[in-house]
Structure 1
């Protein structure tokens, strides 16, 4: 029994540590809420989702195409040097540390604090943006009430747009 157990244990050990796995590593030490992310990121804006712009080659479980990017219209820029009226934001393809872009709905409003993409690749185009799945870098906005809803801070789950602007 001992002779069989040792080789099997060694095999399992090497098998487990030789498999390449991929996982997002979140380096947020304590506070990745929107209030912290919007303070550190270079670009912050109120946007409206105009359309899903690019799609993945795979379908969801309902047979629908999965959106890979969205085009948003900038309603109000709070911070940054972005001059375009519309920008593109890229999502996850199943292997990235980004949220799925289908979480953002066409016609809805969001406060965003995205990251700029610096070079063009199959992951997005230079000058476009993306989100990081470990950060709260967008909040849904009730545009009629002028309130952002979500994890604004550890202790607040919503904030008025006017108050957000004052705090930023």
Structure 2
């Protein structure tokens, strides 16, 4: 029993060692290294089964699916290049240093700071190199409000606990480009 307890403690400690750890950065700082910054509208959530097949459900329990992405409609490219009008952005479950996507609202517009996916042992089965991902060690998105042409998010500051700021979209573009 003592050997089993020591083995379990060792496994737990070694597993925690490989969990995602990083320093948080604000949107302006994080987006400097981003491959693509876009204004886009969320069209739908995509939930994938362990075999990689897309389900037709709009929401499923986290134990029932192995992959989750959002399909977005590209409104504007702020930085980078992309020819497609719609594509998928993948999130994660924490193991791959990606945030979950459940809180993205359908038909809401966001400013995304994204990068091309790289296949790892934690990648979702349906992901490929033409897809994009979010990085959870930074402020990777901000809200866009079309009715007032403003953005809201953790745009500047040194800690993840900083207050969100509201800027005009024009001010945001001047700071980001």
Is TM more than 0.5 here?
A: yes
Matches within 5 A, 1:115-130: 115-119=115-119, 122=125, 124-130=127-133
Conserved? CA contact 2:67–2:124, under 8 Å:
no
CA distance in structure 2 between the aligned counterparts of 1:65 and 1:144, rounded to whole angstroms: 36
Alpha-carbon separation, structure 2, partners of 1:66 and 1:104:
18
- Which residue number in structure 2 is paired with residue 78 of structure 1? 78
How much does 1:32 deviate? 0.9
Query: CA RMSD, aligned part only?
Result: 3.2
The corresponding residue for 1:3 is none
Q: Is the 8 A contact 1:56 1:93 kept in 2?
A: no
Corresponding residue to 1:27 among 18, 22, 26: 22
Shift of 1:12: 5.1
- Tell me if structure 2 keeps the 8 A contact 1:44–1:112: yes
Question: Given that residues 35 and 79 in structure 2 are in contact (C-alpha distance below 8 angstroms), is that contact kept between their aligned partners in structure 1?
Answer: yes
In the alignment of these two chains, the number of paired residues is 158
Of residues 121-130 and 145-154 in structure 1, the stretch that sits farther from structure 2 once superposed is: 121-130
Gaps of at least 5 residues in structure 2 are 51-58
Counterpart check, 1:147 vs 2:150:
yes
Partner SS, residue 87 of structure 2: strand
- Higher RCO (CA < 8 A, seq sep 6+): 2
Measure the CA separation in 1 of the matches of 2:44 and 2:72: 7
Structure 2: distance between partners of 1:21 and 1:118: 22
TM-score, normalization: structure 2? Answer: 0.73
Q: Secondary structure at the match of 1:99?
A: coil
Mapped to 2, the partners of 1:50 and 1:71 lie a distance apart of 6
Correspondence for 1:167? 175
Residue 56 of structure 1 deviates from its aligned partner by: 4.8
**Matching residue of 1:134:** 137
Q: TM-score, normalised by structure 1?
A: 0.77
Note if contact 2:67-2:92 (Cα within 8 Å) is conserved in structure 1. Answer: no
State the SS of the aligned residue for 1:48.
strand
Higher Rg of the two aligned structures: 1
**How far off is 1:101 after superposition?**
1.3
Give the conservation status (yes or no) of the 8 Å contact 1:118–1:127.
no
| Runs of 5+ consecutive residues of structure 1 not aligned to the other structure | 1-6
